[in-house]
Amino acid sequence: MKQQTVLIVDDEPRSRRGLKRTLEAWSPKLLNVQTAASAKEAITRLNEETIDLIITDIRMPEMSGLHLVKALQEQNPKPVCIVISAYSEFEYAHTALELGVRHYLLKPVKKEKLIEAVESALQMKKEQDRFGQVEKVWDEKIDAIEKERLSSSDSIHEALHYIDAHLDQKIGLKDVAKSVHLNPSYLSALFKEKTNMTFSEYLTRKRLQHAKHLLVSTDRPISDIAEKCGYQTAKYFIKIFKEHEGMTPTQYRKGTE
């Protein structure tokens, strides 16, 4: 499992060391715990490497934790954030929550509360990352056709619906033409006219888009994904995927982890 990076930001060395020791003792293999002595140092670190979670004190000289949280809004990908403060700084809590801070912990921070907050924040980060990867698999041409579907001719609308419903099956132009009661040659010409794409190209792109979605959002084996996308064998699926994406399905999955 991939390590997640946590950056502890606090101007007090004792606090930094205490938080770091607690997290490393809790999950030494899954967490890469780093520290920064100021918000400015943290921002520099963010520009150099990917940080999944930031735990920051609210009151620091030169630049406060809230200013750091505001700066995080410009980061891509954006880390999740946990803010730590004293009771007397409750007015800061409201601002922090408005900025999307995941958790607000009060000093002195109890070990159980810290671990609970970190676990929850890192799970949220994983979900955000996975959603972001799923967005990346979207095919713009397919998306454009989907958006125009309602204004398409009835026959093309029905044809697209039939393809969606039978994507995991062995279908061809004749099958779709039969379902919409059209001559295959006529449907082929109409399909190209309405979508600016041949039937074969659309079907392949649609299947590969579905395959990429399954690769990044599930742990299904490649053979299972091939079957779910209408390919009779994993070998043929891998061949087609590599021709269009320049890499194997396994390489694609690893590249989005």
Q: Are 13 and 62 in a shared domain?
A: yes
pLDDT at site 11 = 93
pLDDT at site 88 = 60
Q: Are 153 and 199 in a shared domain?
A: yes
Q: Are 10 and 128 in a shared domain?
A: yes
Q: Are 42 and 100 in a shared domain?
A: yes
Q: Are 117 and 95 in a shared domain?
A: yes
Counting as low any pLDDT under 50, the low residues of the chain are 150
Where residue 234 sits, what CATH number does that domain have?
A: 1.10.10.60
Q: Of the candidates 106, 132, 158, which is a domain's last residue?
A: 132
Whole-angstrom distance, CA of residue 212 vs CA of residue 134: 8
- From the list 106, 102, 92, 94, the residue with the least C-alpha distance to 72 is 102
**pLDDT tens by residue, 213-236:** 888 888 899 999 999 999 999 999
Q: Are 52 and 119 in a shared domain?
A: yes
pLDDT at site 76 = 74
pLDDT at site 255 = 76
The DSSP code for 171 is -
Q: Of the candidates 132, 154, 184, which is a domain's last residue?
A: 132
pLDDT at site 26 = 92
Q: Which residue has 């006529």 as its token pair?
A: 186
Domain hosting 68: range is 4-132
Whole-angstrom distance, CA of residue 103 vs CA of residue 249: 37
Cα angle at 100 between 137 and 254, to 5 degrees? 30
Please count the structural domains in the chain. Answer: 2
- From the list 60, 50, 119, 111, the residue with the least C-alpha distance to 85 is 60
Q: Exposure of 121 by Cβ count < 10 A (0-12 exposed, 13-18 middle, 19+ buried)?
A: buried
pLDDT at site 168 = 93
Task: Decide if 251 contacts 242 (C-beta within 8 A).
Answer: no
Q: Are 114 and 168 in a shared domain?
A: no
Whole-angstrom distance, CA of residue 236 vs CA of residue 250: 14
Where residue 109 sits, what CATH number does that domain have?
A: 3.40.50.2300
Q: Are 30 and 84 in a shared domain?
A: yes
Q: Are 150 and 112 in a shared domain?
A: no
pLDDT at site 131 = 66
Q: Are 145 and 181 in a shared domain?
A: yes
* Residue 53: alpha-carbon gap to chain centroid: 16
Q: Are 84 and 108 in a shared domain?
A: yes
* 3-state helix, strand and coil shares in percent for the chain, rounded to the nearest 5: 60, 10, 30
Q: Are 25 and 71 in a shared domain?
A: yes
Q: Of the candidates 83, 103, 132, which is a domain's last residue?
A: 132
